[in-house]
Amino acid sequence: MIRIAMIGGGPKCLFALLELNDVLSDNEAQTVQVDVYDPYPPGAGRVWNTTQPNELRLNVNSRIIDASSSLCDQTFNEFRNNALQGTTDEVFPPRALVGEYLSEQFQRLVQHGKLPVTHRASAVHKVERQAGQWLVTSDSWYDLYDEVVIATGHGLAGYQHEQKSATTITAAELTVERSADAQHKVPDRSTVRIRGAALTAYDVVMTLTEGRGGQWAPSEDGTPGRLRYVPSGKEPRLMTMLSRHCIPMTPKPMGLPTQAQDILHNYRLQLRQWSNTSEHHTEQMWRILLACAMDIAGSAGVPANEESLKQTVDNGRSEQFSTLASPFEQMRYTLDAHRGLKPQTHEWVWAIVWSGLYSELVTALARYQWAPADRKKFNAAATNLERMAFGPPEPTAQKLLALYDAGMLQHQTSGTEHTGGVLTIDAVTAPPGVLAAAFPDGEPANELISSLLSAGEVKIRTGERGLLTDADGTCINAEGSRNETLSALGRPTEDPTLGHDTLNRTLHLEYRGWARRIMAQVNARSQKVAN
């Protein structure tokens, strides 16, 4: 019997177990036992739990969500159409509905799959070697396993909140956890400040407005898509989002011109060729991205040269947007440009390039051996490019603008606000990986990672925050060798791998390699018994 502990029961865990269930025969599956450790119901996990309010919506197109398998061939959109009898075709549905789909797929695995799977509703605190196995210690259990998989997603990010005062609460308490106590701490008609101005902060704003009975109506000027806010009287009087650079996330482009698709196809091939060369330096990668941006700009009639496009990436916004006084006016301009009412910007150009070439970058940069200066440059550029490419969908952006127009929402630079006695909501998005900052300075958030690092069971490279793994998810130990019975999937491995904060099952295939490694181990044990 091979006993496997999955630490974390979210989508990455689900994808891995569905794959393992599919590759094992009935007899082989009975030689494996899987325990999934997660305080939340598996499949959905914490981030996608089904009890969160409906105003928290998906920020990506729902067509990417696919947890189908031999047990059920339904994608999320097919599940939704059946569940709601085809009454909606929302591109950005409530996240709780996504959680229902993921939870249902996990329950189907437990009830009808070949693989024996048990849920242990508990958080793991420590994993340590003991006599050739792994001792897993959680709130309620301690048990020995042959294999351990760390798939904790957002639940193990290295971010540590500042020491909380009586006037500070976390975003999660208000949003995905829906704490009644946290809700009571935000009185009707109060003034609040929100640390952070990205997607997590937008969730907080939606929870405190739409979640308290506020409604949206067409704007009185009749502008297509523009909204006005109809208050319930229970929302805060004023919400101030705070960020270091006061740069908003750029609303996602509404579509991709045909000519841009052809251009992107050509540059995907160039990135693929670059990644297959024996010595591929990142300067060549940046030249490919810049050339693609120039071609996209030229095809759309966006005035640009190489220097201005470089400066947009370096500064986080274009010179054009720097002249707009308010971050919300930048957001409004972007929405107007998406509708063809104004010329497109450098931000739009880079959004098309970064999102359009992202899958190739994920493959090309997986476990790339970075020079320290190149790593630092890439992290800074990627932060700015992701703000341009992966911002809120138009419906969310229109709601934020309606609150701004109503005088209820503002965005300021951190340190410029008056803080005395004002309730603070901590909505700073947790960084990827398992450290609060890049190694060696960053500290682990909890004992689980701290103990594995101290024992040399895992490796984090200088300048990175995530666990280094092989292509099949196997952890690399401090000596640089494969730690054959310890694996990590998803967000804990980000930095060595790119873009794990996604539901796109096709973007990272480590889970398939892991399932095949377990299958090979099962076969090897069977042959040993037969001999």
Please give the full DSSP string across 177-244, using - where no structure is assigned.
Answer: S--HHHHHTS-TT-EEEEEB-SHHHHHHHHHHTGGGT-EEEE-TT--TT-EEEE--S-S-SEEEEEES
Give the CA distances from residue 206 to residues 122, 214, 229, 324, 516, in Å, rounded to whole numbers and listed in that order: 30, 9, 12, 25, 42
As a whole number of angstroms, the distance between CA 151 and CA 13 comes to 6
The predicted structure's pLDDT at residue 418:
58
Other C-beta atoms closer than 10 Å to the C-beta of 484 total: 13
Peptide bond between residue 444 and the one before it cis (omega within 30 degrees of 0): no
Is residue 413 within 8 A of residue 243, CB to CB? The reply is yes
With CA atoms as reference, report the closest residue to 262 among 346, 351, 354, 356. Answer: 356
Contacts of range 120-123, beta carbons closer than 8 Å, 24 or more positions apart? 120/35, 120/36, 120/37, 120/38, 121/38, 121/39, 121/40, 122/37, 122/38, 122/39, 123/37, 123/38, 123/39, 123/155
The percentage of the chain sitting over the pLDDT mark of 70, rounded to a whole number, equals 95
**Are residues 150 and 186 located together in one domain of the fold?**
no
**Are residues 404 and 384 located together in one domain of the fold?**
no
As a whole number of angstroms, the distance between CA 16 and CA 510 comes to 9
Look at residue 479 and tell me if it is in a domain.
yes
Residues in Cβ contact with 273 at an 8 Å cutoff, skipping those fewer than 6 apart:
none
**Confidence class of residue 136 from pLDDT cuts 50, 70 and 90?**
very high
Number of domains in the chain: 3
**Are residues 53 and 102 located together in one domain of the fold?**
yes
Look at residue 80 and tell me if it is in a domain.
no
**Are residues 304 and 346 located together in one domain of the fold?**
yes
Residue 335 DSSP SS3: helix
Taking every pair of Cα atoms in the chain, the longest distance, rounded to a whole number of angstroms, is: 81
Look at residue 513 and tell me if it is in a domain.
yes
Picking from 407, 426, 445, the residue at the C-terminal end of a domain is: 426
Pick from 229-243, 364-378, 420-434, 485-499: least confident: 420-434
The predicted structure's pLDDT at residue 157:
38
**Are residues 142 and 240 located together in one domain of the fold?**
no
**Confidence class of residue 156 from pLDDT cuts 50, 70 and 90?**
very low
Look at residue 63 and tell me if it is in a domain.
no
The pLDDT tens digits of the residues spanning 391-446 come to: 999 999 999 999 999 999 999 999 865 556 789 999 998 788 999 889 999 999 78
**Confidence class of residue 165 from pLDDT cuts 50, 70 and 90?**
low
Look at residue 86 and tell me if it is in a domain.
no
- Does the pTM exceed 0.75? yes
Any idea what the Cα angle at residue 65 is, between residues 60 and 67, rounded to 5°? 160
Look at residue 88 and tell me if it is in a domain.
no
As a whole number of angstroms, the distance between CA 275 and CA 97 comes to 38
Look at residue 64 and tell me if it is in a domain.
no
Phi, psi of 482, rounded to the nearest 5 degrees: -70, 130
Look at residue 272 and tell me if it is in a domain.
yes
342 alpha carbon, distance to own chain's centre = 31
Pick from 67-76, 286-295, 370-379: least confident: 370-379
Supply the range of the domain harboring residue 449. 2-57+96-157+432-530
Residues in Cβ contact with 207 at an 8 Å cutoff, skipping those fewer than 6 apart:
53, 55, 56, 174, 175
The predicted structure's pLDDT at residue 364:
94
**Are residues 224 and 267 located together in one domain of the fold?**
no
As a whole number of angstroms, the distance between CA 96 and CA 203 comes to 13
The predicted structure's pLDDT at residue 163:
46
Helices H, strands E: what count in the chain? Answer: 17, 16
Query: What is the rounded average pLDDT of the residues 24-49?
Result: 96
**Are residues 378 and 310 located together in one domain of the fold?**
yes
**Are residues 357 and 376 located together in one domain of the fold?**
yes
**Are residues 106 and 199 located together in one domain of the fold?**
no
Higher pLDDT among residues 279 and 339, named by residue: 339
**Average per-residue pLDDT for the chain:** 92
The predicted structure's pLDDT at residue 152:
92
DSSP 8-state symbol, 418: -
The predicted structure's pLDDT at residue 178:
87
In the numeric block, which tokens belong to residue 353? 């390039």
Is residue 229 within 8 A of residue 209, CB to CB? The reply is yes
**Are residues 302 and 366 located together in one domain of the fold?**
yes
In the numeric block, which tokens belong to residue 151? 């798939």
The predicted structure's pLDDT at residue 83:
82
**Are residues 373 and 237 located together in one domain of the fold?**
no
With CA atoms as reference, report the closest residue to 399 among 161, 268, 208. Answer: 208
**Are residues 458 and 511 located together in one domain of the fold?**
yes
